[in-house]
Chains A and B, each alone.
Chain A
């Protein structure tokens, strides 16, 4: 009897590892190993520009070359992603709040609607913005009718009266494309909040603004953090919005990495700059994770 129990206990100990082994093996082979090969290429040199062969020789200088060559696009990518992330959080917080607390019977429908963009082609939605932002498009027309073009021109949103192929168009596209990634985690964290806390605060004569600041805001911060990461990370690497909505001077790090790998075959420096990008982002994630753990990312 005791023997059988022991055996089943031992089995229970092995089972989770057996279950997770195939998946983890896959992740090891096709996520971890490629990062190693990427690092190896980043430390190699390429003797012949017209032959793909690279030679590994601890060439750390690739990182310096990469910085001086792609520093501008790297910084630009982070600036675009940063502004877009800020806008995403600012726009999605009130929407998430409404869906979580004030939507009533509409809650599930609205949540479903937030998911719809996931099932529509990312590229086509961006192409649609091209039409909307065009010189004779709807958005510019509306701004003209509201006599806002002058003001927005001064603020630098419009560039010589244009909207398409400007910084604003790229940031607008990024904000649009990643909005659901910010909205859903914020919604999830708001939804968990026990509203009786707010009633309790109100009973104790706390005005709404104050109880919001003291109760809801801090409790929803994990969602805000998760949403920030899920927006910022893909936005920094994205080059689709820049290619379709920007112009050659708005090129970001994503454009450069893709070009250098797939067009110019300039592997070592491109590998180096990809690793730098990954390193910066991993550092940010680690700092974040220290504050809130990885649980809320899912």
Chain B
């Protein structure tokens, strides 16, 4: 191929600049968790290095409870979404079915609907004098947030798992059955190991979606009762950005990176062993 040489050099430079662009704000979040702004300072602008913010990371802060709230919502919503979504994905990729295109469209639609519209529409569903459910009284709070998060994570999980299942060799199941394996054993020994990496990856990504959602949550969470982490951050950010936010966000980010890296390394090692 011609076009190497200078072309590659420019490409390298663009990529480098792109990654700098992507990572400057992320590195800043980490750095600003060490910013010496005092307990009630506004964490915008660098004032000097300190470990104080980490020392009082969990001290009586609304952000700690907000992060717990977010994790609780994510745990329930993403587990539910992963189960329901993976079942749909398996149905779509393992079987030929009529109406598959329709199901596919139902999964893609939430991705192509702006969050603000989904939030507004759920608001009208849960809204007090509910037009459709008569006098059924939805109480805006954790339940409605979990319902909403399950909805948008479900379509995401189903599509991600479906993409990962594409090209899997389902005849292995038949082979196991031909060799006298019981359906349960086939599922445990063949199907599950085949589909679980995709499902695990989808679950992790859906957790990331759930704990980061602000827009939809702001419509279905009601008043201050259900304060998720993004809500707590957004509500205070207009006045003041507290350094504890950066500490908690850095912890979550580090944890996520560790999970991804170990996942990748383990996956590579297993592949190397098999190969």
Partner-B contacts on A (CB < 8 A) = 12-13, 15-17, 19-20, 22-24, 26-28, 30-38, 40-41, 44, 52-54, 56, 91-92, 94-95, 97-99, 102, 108, 110, 112-132, 134, 136, 176, 179-180, 198-199, 202, 207-209, 212, 229-230, 233-234, 236-240, 243-244, 253-254, 257-258, 261-262, 267, 270-271, 274-275, 277-278, 281-282, 285, 294, 297-298
Contact = CB atoms under 8 A, between A and B. Distances in A.
Contacts of B114: 233-234, 236-238, 254, 277-278, 281
A31 B110 contact: yes
B246 A124 contact: yes
A22 B84 contact: yes
Interface of B is mostly: helix
Nearest to A44: B131
B253 A35 contact: no
Contacts of A120: 26, 29, 249, 252-253
A141 to B, nearest CB: 13
A97 B264 CA distance: 22
Given A31-B151, A127-B237, A207-B2, A112 B120 contact: no
B32 interface: yes
A182 B76 CA distance: 30
Contacts of A180: 22
Contacts of A278: 113-114, 117
A141 B131 CA distance: 55
Interface in B1-49: 1-3, 7-8, 11-12, 14-15, 18-19, 21-26, 28-29, 32, 44-45
Interface string B106-136: 1111111111111111111101111110000
Contacts of B113: 233, 278, 281-282
A17 B257 contact: no
A180 B19 CA distance: 11
B165 to A, nearest CB: 11
A209 B261 CA distance: 37
How many of chain B's residues touch chain A, expressed as a range?
35 or more
Contacts of A122: 212, 214, 230
B116 A17 contact: no
A34 B230 contact: no
A97 B12 CA distance: 10
7 contacts: A13-B97, A15-B91, A27-B107, A52-B127, A114-B22, A115-B260, A294-B104
Given A19-B87, A37-B132, A121-B233, 15 more contacts: A15-B91, A26-B84, A36-B132, A38-B124, A115-B260, A119-B253, A127-B44, A131-B32, A132-B25, A136-B45, A233-B111, A238-B115, A258-B219, A262-B123, A278-B114
Interface string B240-271: 01000110010011001100110010001000
Given A114-B22, A278-B114, A239 B97 contact: no
A53 to B, nearest CB: 6
B91 A16 contact: yes
A174 B103 CA distance: 31
